[in-house]
Amino acid sequence: MLLDVITIFPEYLRALDVSLLGKARERGLLQVRVHDLRDWATGPHRSVDDTPYGGGPGMVMRPEPWAAALAAVLATGGLAGPGAAPAAREPGANPRLVVPTPSGKLFTQQTAAELAAEPWLVFACGRYEGIDARLVEVAAESLRVDELSIGDYVLAGGEAATLVIVEAVTRLLPGVVGNAVSVTDDSFAAGGMVGLLEGPVYTRPPEWAGRSVPAVLRAGDHAAVARWRREQALRRTAARRPDLIAQLDSGALSDRDRAALAGSDQPG
Ligand code: ADE
């Protein structure tokens, strides 16, 4: 997968050099290019923003530097060197443009899975009050554009949201996470316990601070472990995210599931 990120704070994206993502890049699973929007700013001050029409606080990013930056990135045709993803090399292949914004559609695990199937993503990190709305309108004439919010709070810019989205997407790429099963069992993952939060997890030592690891996890009965984990997931989800329980397909709940949700112990 090829990722292009356009920002006025390229150094903010240094986080992409470390950890899983850094390793995925070293192994050629992922290529990342970070671009400084100011390289496409003109005028004596190379300014990228201006006051909003209609008044109001803050500044709005001007469309011209963005359009020039996008044109330059698109002109690469997704060619990012010898390891470029084949689909991104096809003539005419266009990237999907992601614009993080608090007024976007909510980014979910499902969006992450959708984006993970793309060979080439471009992120446009807005700052201030956002980017002049005409930029997305024009971009959408030739590209698929997703304006995405990572949650109901306001960040100072799209960079942190881009890091969140990139991490959620790239860990779904084959070979990025060492243990592929751990990806499918996560909270919210499609597979494993769909739509439930993951329950508590434990490792050695078996006794610590006067507390024991639950005996069922140490007894080697895999079916009992799976049942216990599902019950824990159901209870935790009911306590912390009742909205997710309300979305569950009630036909998919067993009697045992219902008993866990009711907080009662299952006989046997
Ligand atoms: N930019 C500022 N706040 C944001 C949010 N919640 N999600 C995505 N991008 C943002």
The single residue of 129, 167, 185, 198 carrying the catalytic annotation is 129
pLDDT recorded at residue 78: 84
Q: What is the mean pLDDT of the chain?
A: 91
If you take atom 4 of ligand 1, which residue's CA is the nearest one?
102
d(CA 254, CA 77) in angstroms, rounded, equals 51
Closest CA to 99 of 2, 7, 233, 11: 7
Q: Is any ligand 1 atom within 6 A of the Cβ of residue 149?
A: yes
Co-location of 235 and 201 in the same domain: yes
How many domains does the structure of the chain reveal?
2
Burial zone of 176 (CB within 10 Å; 0-12 exposed, 13-18 middle, 19+ buried): buried
Is residue 11 in some structural domain? yes
pLDDT recorded at residue 4: 98
Which of the pair, 264 or 179, is modelled with greater confidence?
Answer: 179
Task: Give the residue numbers spanning the domain of 205.
Answer: 185-261
Choice among 51-65, 156-170, 199-213, 250-264 with the minimum mean pLDDT: 250-264
Percent of the chain at pLDDT above 90? 80
Is residue 177 in some structural domain? no
Co-location of 153 and 192 in the same domain: no
Co-location of 72 and 97 in the same domain: yes
Co-location of 127 and 21 in the same domain: yes
Is residue 178 in some structural domain? no
Is residue 267 in some structural domain? no
- Whether pLDDT at 88 is above 60: no
Is residue 157 in some structural domain? yes
Query: Which CATH number covers residue 250?
Result: 1.10.1270.20
Model confidence, pTM: 0.91
Co-location of 162 and 104 in the same domain: yes
Q: Is any ligand 1 atom within 6 A of the Cβ of residue 175?
A: no
The single residue of 33, 38, 171, 227 carrying the catalytic annotation is 171
pLDDT recorded at residue 19: 86
Amino acid at 11: E
Co-location of 115 and 195 in the same domain: no
d(CA 179, CA 255) in angstroms, rounded, equals 32
Co-location of 96 and 191 in the same domain: no
- Whether pLDDT at 255 is above 90: yes
Given pLDDT bands bounded at 50, 70 and 90, which one contains residue 177? confident
Co-location of 155 and 129 in the same domain: yes
- Whether pLDDT at 140 is above 50: yes
Q: Is any ligand 1 atom within 6 A of the Cβ of residue 150?
A: yes
Q: Give the DSSP H or E segment for 235.
A: helix 222-240
If you take atom 5 of ligand 1, which residue's CA is the nearest one?
102
Co-location of 13 and 133 in the same domain: yes
Is residue 175 in some structural domain? no
Q: State mean pLDDT over 19-38.
A: 93
pLDDT recorded at residue 184: 62
Choice among 69-83, 114-128, 200-214, 253-267 with the minimum mean pLDDT: 253-267
Percent of the chain at pLDDT above 70? 88
- Whether pLDDT at 265 is above 60: no
**Beta-carbon neighbour count of residue 118 at 10 Å?**
18
- Whether pLDDT at 139 is above 90: yes
Q: Is any ligand 1 atom within 6 A of the Cβ of residue 112?
A: no
Co-location of 27 and 70 in the same domain: yes
In the residue annotation, 258 being an active-site residue is answered as no
Co-location of 15 and 107 in the same domain: yes
Co-location of 102 and 195 in the same domain: no
